[in-house]
Amino acid sequence: MMRLALFEETLEGGTLALPRAVHGLYVRAGAVALDGTPLASDTATLATGAATLSGAGEVWRFEVADVAELTAPHEYACLVLAHPLPRDPAAPFVLRLDRVDFPPEGATPKHGHAGPGIRRLLSGRLLAEVGEEAHRIDAGGAWYETGTDPVIGRVMAPGSAFIRCMVLDAEMLGRPTFRAWTPEDAVKPRSASYRLFFDTLTALDAA
Q: What is the mean pLDDT of the chain?
A: 93
pLDDT in tens, 109-137: 999 999 999 999 999 999 999 988 999 99
What is the pLDDT at residue 135? 92
What is the pLDDT at residue 74? 58
Number of domains comprising the chain: 2
Assess contact for 117 and 67: CB atoms under 8 A.
Answer: no
Q: Are strands 133-138 and 117-130 parallel, antiparallel or unpaired?
A: antiparallel
Q: Is residue 175 part of a domain?
A: yes
For the chain, percent of residues with pLDDT exceeding 70 = 97
Do 82 and 107 share a domain, yes or no? no
Q: How far is CA 69 from CA 1, 19, 21, 40, in A?
A: 10, 10, 9, 31
CATH number for 25: 2.60.120
Q: Which of 11-20, 30-39, 127-136 has the highest mean pLDDT?
A: 30-39
State yes or no: pLDDT of 84 exceeds 60: yes
Name the least confident of 2-6, 72-76, 165-169. 72-76
Q: Is residue 207 part of a domain?
A: no
DSSP state of 41: T
State how far the Cα of 120 lies from the Cα of 132, in Å rounded to an integer.
Answer: 20
Cβ partners under 8 Å of residue 106, min gap 6:
154, 155, 160, 191, 192
Last residue of some domain: 88, 111, 137?
Answer: 88
What is the pLDDT at residue 206? 74
State yes or no: pLDDT of 163 exceeds 70: yes
Assess contact for 16 and 53: CB atoms under 8 A.
Answer: yes
